[in-house]
Amino acid sequence: MTNNEGIALEARSLSVWYGEFLALRNIHLAFKRNKVTALIGPSGCGKSTLLRCFNRMNDLIPSAKVEGQVIFEGRDLYSSKIDPTEMRSRIGMVFQKPNPFPKSISANVGFGLRINGYTGDVKEAIERSLRQAALWNEVKDRLNDGALTLSGGQQQRLCIARALAVEPEIILMDEPASALDPMATLAIEDLIRNLSEHYTIVIVTHNMQQAARVSDETAFLMVHEDRSGYLVEHGATQRIFTNPEDERTEAYITGRFS
């Protein structure tokens, strides 16, 4: 049950139900280490549901049931031996709407450090994370101000810094720029490109230009007639956007349906 060299995370025969409703059907998908993989597809195709399987966020929804495996470092995330709390600190998440806590900027970044019992220099770790998230220069003089005083784009970069602080190996991003203006979106996209040097990133986006700009690999999902989502095609972003194998992928990326 080990991953291939260069694979950071892998879904095997993954299906998700919400009660009786099959939301995701039998997904096989591997994510390469230190690459950005974009999940694209029409609304309702289950891309966010898939993303939330990778840090067991679906556990929080009582009716959700996951079948199949997600392999991370040779172990199945859904095996009973895995502690979701420990696992989540290693697979970070950034949400669609910027959701900093109503606390100070430094308390936001320090939150994960504190709850995970960080033994190093907290101040230094906060600065390092804010620098990584390209936010340090804008906030270094007001670390004790409320996080909600920041602009939307800054708040989202703060959320990224907050996720980075606990030093995850993988970062899951659920349409991280969809609530932001174009300038803030560009800043986030630059950041994602830079972060991929050190992190494996999975990003859900409904914006195909964004997928083309930021990702190395793209996975295209679609909705079946019974409203369940399934994987159509996965490969290098370059190839998916220029020479897709499946005609449905081509139809989607050329905007014939959305």
Partner 1 sequence: MTNNRKDQFNQKLRLRKGIAKAFYFIFLLSILIGIGGLLLLLIQVLIEGLPWLSLHFLTDYPSRHPEQAGLKSALMGTIWIMTLTGLFTVPIGVSAAIYLEEYAPKNWSTQILEINLSNLAGVPSIVYGLLGLAVFVQLMSLGRTVLAGSLTLSLLVLPIVILASRESIRAVPSYYKEAAFALGADKWQVIKGVVLPVAFPGILTGTILAMSRAIGEAAPVIAISALVYLTFVPSSPLDRFTVLPIQIFNWVSRPQEDFQGLAAAGIIVLLTILLSMNAIAIYLRDKYQGKSAE
Provide, rounded to whole angstroms, the least separation between the CB of residue 44 and partner 1.
Answer: 20
Can you read off the two tokens belonging to residue 190?
Answer: 């630059």
Rank residues 112 and 229 by Cβ distance to partner 1 and give the closer one. 112
Q: Select from 18, 95, 136, 230 the one that contacts partner 1 (CB under 8 A).
A: 95
Q: Is 86 in the site for partner 1 (CB under 8 A)?
A: yes
C-alpha–C-alpha distance, residues 135 and 143, integer Å:
11
E-state strands within the chain: 7-18, 21-32, 36-40, 64-72, 75-76, 91-94, 170-174, 200-204, 217-223, 229-236
Q: Select from 112, 153, 176, 229 the one that contacts partner 1 (CB under 8 A).
A: 112
Q: Please work out the total of residues on this chain that contact partner 1, with binding judged by CB under 8 A.
A: 32
CB atoms within 10 A of CB 43: 9
Rank residues 99 and 178 by Cβ distance to partner 1 and give the closer one. 99
Q: Is 57 in the site for partner 1 (CB under 8 A)?
A: yes
Q: Select from 60, 141, 182, 225 the one that contacts partner 1 (CB under 8 A).
A: 60
| CB burial of residue 39 (10 Å; 0-12, 13-18, 19+) | buried
Q: Is 63 in the site for partner 1 (CB under 8 A)?
A: no
Q: Select from 166, 208, 219, 221 the one that contacts partner 1 (CB under 8 A).
A: 166
Q: Is 157 in the site for partner 1 (CB under 8 A)?
A: no
Can you read off the two tokens belonging to residue 211?
Answer: 């997928």
Q: Select from 115, 194, 224, 254 the one that contacts partner 1 (CB under 8 A).
A: 115
Work out the angle between the directed axes of helices 152-165 and 122-132 (0-180°, nearest 10).
Answer: 130
Work out the angle between the directed axes of helices 152-165 and 105-115 (0-180°, nearest 10).
Answer: 20
Provide, rounded to whole angstroms, the least separation between the CB of residue 89 and partner 1.
Answer: 3
Number of residues assigned to the chain: 258
The contact set with partner 1 (CB under 8 A) reads 55, 57, 60, 62, 85-90, 92-93, 95, 97, 99-103, 111-112, 114-116, 145-146, 148-149, 159, 162-163, 166
